[in-house]
């Protein structure tokens, strides 16, 4: 298997887990890592929240050794606080600091952060420079194709980030106004790759080994990132590696295997967050795991009523009994 280098960080050229706020928490990341995700990124860390001592923000900075190579992802609209936050992150020893300039969520964009920065290139450039100046590790920037179809500026944006010291860039082939709808534009990822000399990560519409290979071949990107394609399918990283190595589709995951993975994932969530809070957050994951199973509409509805691990175990027994009949 091939590797790429982001600064001094070596990453296997298979598939990385894209950053996803409120989804890719520690338990989610560790599940994906266990199945071969080559690189992980934290949930979004507020630069001002960190600078002002918010405890919840500080907890997002904690790193497990199993997560490496691992990036802490900062967001914010103020270059001063982004630089100060980058300096504060050094004590956690991240392998990489990633700057979020792609989040489309209104409350992030409304504060001038996330993908709003694609309309403010001067501010984005200053943020990148301040972060690079204060970080003890390579800095990367994740952004989108552009704000909307009339403002596709990913190529110019990528070149600007490279000039400001970014060690790699990640491009999601959708505009901010698209959110996660429609089809990702792989042409823009290819054009970004052709325009810069630093590594380029491609994100959008990769769901299996075949689509990962197609993105590599079509865009020339250095690393494929998977977000929603991993929902309820952390084994997708193992499947992609298998396909890239052999050119063959792996055997489908059985219902028994799905339930085993779902159980392990929910137990891990409860380990980190306690059973009460953990099971609340596990509900959406369970709904993804049971998608496509026999009686999946009923099962997904039942996921909303999971309150304890015992509830989960009973659901798993029900699924397995239905599968055997």
Please count the residues of the chain. 325
DSSP 8-state secondary structure symbol assigned to residue 8: T
Task: Quote the Cα angle for 144-95-20, to 5°.
Answer: 40
Structure tokens given for 178: 């698209």
Helix%, strand%, coil% for the chain, nearest 5: 50, 15, 35
Return d(Cα 278, Cα 223) in angstroms, integer: 32
Quick check: 43 and 19 in contact, CB under 8 A?
yes
Question: What is the CB neighbour count within 10 angstroms for residue 324?
Answer: 8
Residue 120: HSE in the Cβ half-sphere, 13 Å Cα cutoff: 19
Q: For residue 29, give Cα distances in angstroms to 192, 246, 278, 298.
A: 27, 25, 15, 28
Asked if 115 and 101 touch (Cβ cutoff 8 Å), the reply is yes
Q: Is 128 a catalytic residue?
A: no
Q: Which of 32, 51, 61, 103 is catalytic?
A: 103
Query: Going along 49-163, which residue ranges are E strands?
Result: 70-75, 96-101, 139-146
Beta pairing class for 96-101 and 3-6:
unpaired
Active site residues: 103
């Amino acid at each position: 298997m091939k590797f790429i280098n982001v600064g001094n960080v070596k990453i296997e050229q298979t598939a990385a887990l894209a950053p996803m706020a409120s989804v890719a928490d520690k338990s989610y990341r560790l599940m994906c890592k266990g199945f071969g995700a080559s690189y992980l990124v934290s949930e979004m860390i507020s630069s001002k929240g960190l600078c002002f001592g918010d405890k919840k923000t500080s907890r997002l900075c904690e790193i497990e050794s199993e997560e490496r190579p691992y990036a802490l992802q900062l967001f914010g609209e103020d270059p001063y606080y982004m630089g100060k936050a980058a300096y504060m992150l050094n004590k956690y020893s991240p392998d990489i600091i990633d700057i979020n300039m792609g989040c489309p969520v209104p409350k992030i964009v409304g504060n001038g952060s996330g993908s709003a920065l694609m309309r403010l290139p001067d501010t984005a450039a200053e943020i990148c420079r301040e972060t690079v100046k204060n970080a003890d590790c390579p800095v990367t920037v994740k952004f989108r194709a552009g704000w909307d179809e009339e403002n596709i500026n990913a190529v110019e944006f990528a070149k600007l980030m490279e000039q400001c010291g970014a060690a790699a860039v990640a491009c999601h082939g959708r505009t901010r106004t698209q959110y996660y709808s429609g089809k990702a534009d792989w042409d823009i990822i290819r054009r970004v790759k052709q325009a810069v000399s630093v590594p380029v990560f491609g994100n959008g519409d990769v769901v299996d080994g075949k689509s990962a290979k197609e993105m590599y071949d079509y865009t020339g990107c250095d690393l494929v990132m998977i977000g929603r394609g991993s929902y309820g399918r952390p084994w997708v990283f193992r499947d992609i590696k298998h396909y890239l190595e052999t050119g063959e589709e792996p055997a489908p995951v059985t219902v028994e295997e799905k339930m085993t993975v779902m159980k392990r994932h929910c137990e891990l969530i409860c380990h980190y967050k306690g059973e009460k809070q953990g099971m609340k957050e596990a509900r959406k994951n369970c709904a993804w795991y049971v998608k496509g199973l026999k009686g999946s509409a009923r099962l997904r509805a039942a996921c909303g009523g999971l309150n304890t691990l015992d509830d989960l175990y009973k659901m798993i027994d029900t699924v397995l009994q239905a599968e055997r009949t």
